[in-house]
Structure 1
Amino acid sequence: MAVPVPPPPGRRLGPVCAALLVVALAGCAADPGADATPAPSAASATTTDPVGTAAPATPDATPSGTAPSDTAPSDTAPSGNDVAPYDDTSTRDAAGSFGTAQRLDASLEAVVEGPRPATTGERPVRAAPGTPVQVFTLTLTNTGGTPVDAVRWSFPVAVADGEPAVPVFDESLGVPMETFRTIGPGESASLEVAYAAPHDAELAVRVFDTATPDHYVEFSD
Structure 2
Amino acid sequence: MTPDVPRPPGACPHRTRLAGTLLLALALTGCAGEDPAPATTGPAGSTGPANSAAAAATPGAAAGETAPPAASGTPTGAPSGNDVAPYDETATRDAGARLGTSAAVAEDLEARLDGPRHATTGQRSVRAAPGTPVQVFTLTLTNTGDEPVDAVPWSFPVALADGEPATPAFDEDLGARMETFPILEPGGSASLEVAFSAGPEAELAVRVFDNTTPDHYVEFTD
1:80, distance to aligned residue in structure 2 (A): 3.3
Partner of 1:18: none
Q: 2 CA distance for matches of 1:89 and 1:151?
A: 23
- 3-state SS of the aligned residue for 2:127? coil
User: Distance in 2 between the 1:76 and 1:212 partners?
Assistant: 22
Alignment of 1:1-221 (within 5 A): 75-221=76-222
Q: Scaled by the length of structure 1, what TM-score is found?
A: 0.65
- Of structures 1 and 2, the larger Rg is shown by 1
How far apart, in 2, do the equivalents of 1:128 and 1:63 lie?
Answer: 27
Counterpart contact for 1:81–1:155, Cα < 8 Å? no
Structure 1: runs of 5+ lacking an equivalent: 1-61, 65-72
2:157 is matched by which residue type in structure 1? P
Tell me, in whole angstroms, the C-alpha distance in 2 between the residues paired with 1:138 and 1:128.
Answer: 23
Alpha-carbon distance in 2 for matches of 1:76, 1:97: 25
Task: Tell me the amino acid that sits aligned with residue 165 of structure 2.
Answer: P
Unaligned runs of 5+ in 2: 1-43, 47-68, 70-74
SS in 1 for 2:85: coil
Q: Hey, what's the Cα distance between the residues in 2 that align with 1:170 and 1:63?
A: 28
Deviation at 1:90, TM superposition (A): 1.1
Q: Give the conservation status (yes or no) of the 8 Å contact 2:85–2:214.
A: yes
TM-score, with structure 2 as normaliser: 0.65
Counterpart AA for 1:149:
D
- 1:63 positional shift: 5.2
Alignment check: 8 A CA contact 1:135 1:193 kept: yes
Q: Is the 8 A contact 1:140 1:190 kept in 2?
A: yes
Compared CA separation, residues 160 and 131, structure 1 to 2 (3 A): same
8 Å CA contact 2:166, 2:197 repeated in 1: yes
| TM-align CA RMSD | 1.7
Amino acid paired to 2:94: D
Aligned-partner residue type, residue 201 of structure 1: A
| Superposition deviation, residue 81 in structure 1 | 3.8
Q: Does the aligned pair in 2 maintain the 1:91–1:214 contact within 8 Å? A: yes
Runs of 4+ in 1 over 6 A off after TM superposition: none
C-alpha distance in 1 between matches for 2:82 and 2:156: 6
